[in-house]
Structures are given as structure tokens and as C-alpha cells.
Amino acid sequence: MLVNSINTQMKNLLKDPSLLLLVLLFFLVLIVVRISNSSFGSTPVPEQDIQGLDKIPEGKTAIFFASWCGHCRASMNEFKKAVQDSDGLVIMVPESNENRKLMKNYKIQGFPTIVKSDGTVYTGPRRSQDIIDFANGK
């Protein structure tokens, strides 16, 4: 009975090109979403204990990012390297409800944004060593 039902539905699907197109589009969207999620990076973003704070810890530089941001995704490996190579000087701050106050206090309006605790905004290249140099005041 189930096989007959599936056969009937497949025949109907092949008869109606718009329905077939809709099903193909659905699967294409699933594939794109899967690829985009996996391209965010194979290694996790370093955990930071900054959730819910209203200011960046003194002497630190924060990289504000969003998982949906193409520029953030393209630079994520450099950001992670900056965090790993800076001995705790550079931290990652994801866009989240817990970080809204922090983002508002530093007037974060786009991603990625790199800011020192004193409010100085970085505008240079998104390379790890350049970010670390900025964090060190060079």
C-alpha cells in the first residue's frame, strides 16, 4: 500500500514541473545551508568569558563577529590565529543577546569590528599579526 502511494506521488511530481522545481529548490537550499555552516571553520571559536559584560576588559582588544557575516567567515582563520597567538590580549565576542549591551556601549553597527577596551577601532587589514600589533599598541 505504501509503495503504491509513493509511486503515485512520484508520478504526480513528474507531471507537474513547478512542483518538481519546488522540490529541487528545497534540496538546493538544504545543501547551501549545510555548506555555509561547515565553511565557518573546522575549529571552534575560542571560548571567551565575556558574556553579559558591559565593557571590554581593560587592556584587551575584542573582535566582534557574527556567524552569518561573510566577511567574518572569510577572516575567521586569521581571527582565531590572533586570539591564539596574542596570549589573551585578543578576545572574540560573538553577536548574541547576552552581548547586546557590550555592543551598544562600543557602538558596534557592523561585523566584523575590532575594538580596544579604550574604544579605539581598528581599520587595518584583517591579518592576525596586524590585529595583534594593534592590540599591543604598535
pLDDT of residue 54: 82
Position 38 pLDDT exceeds 50: no
- The lowest-confidence range among 12-26, 39-53, 61-75 is 39-53
Q: What is the pTM of this model?
A: 0.65
Of residues 103 and 48, more confidence is placed in: 103
Q: Is the peptide bond before 57 cis (omega within 30 degrees of 0)?
A: no
Query: Within a domain: residue 52?
Result: no
- pLDDT confidence band for 32 (50 / 70 / 90): low
Q: Are residues 77 and 117 in the same domain?
A: yes
- pLDDT confidence band for 34 (50 / 70 / 90): low
User: pLDDT tens digit string along 84-108?
Assistant: 999 888 988 888 888 888 899 999 9
Structural domain containing residue 7: 2-38
Query: Within a domain: residue 56?
Result: no
Position 18 pLDDT exceeds 60: yes
Q: What is the DSSP string of 65-131?
A: E-TT-HHHHHHHHHHHHHHHHTTTSEEEEE--GGGHHHHHHTT--SSSEEEETTSPBP-S---HHHH
Position 19 pLDDT exceeds 50: yes
Mean pLDDT of the chain: 79
CATH number for the domain spanning 70: value is 3.40.30.10
Domain count for the chain, please give it: 2
CA distance 46 to 79: 10
- pLDDT confidence band for 39 (50 / 70 / 90): very low
Q: Are residues 65 and 131 in the same domain?
A: yes
Of residues 44 and 101, more confidence is placed in: 101
pLDDT of residue 42: 42
The angle at the Cα of 66, spanning 62 to 69, to the nearest 5 degrees, equals: 125
Q: Are residues 33 and 66 in the same domain?
A: no
Query: Within a domain: residue 67?
Result: yes
Q: Are residues 86 and 22 in the same domain?
A: no
Q: Are residues 75 and 107 in the same domain?
A: yes
Query: Within a domain: residue 89?
Result: yes
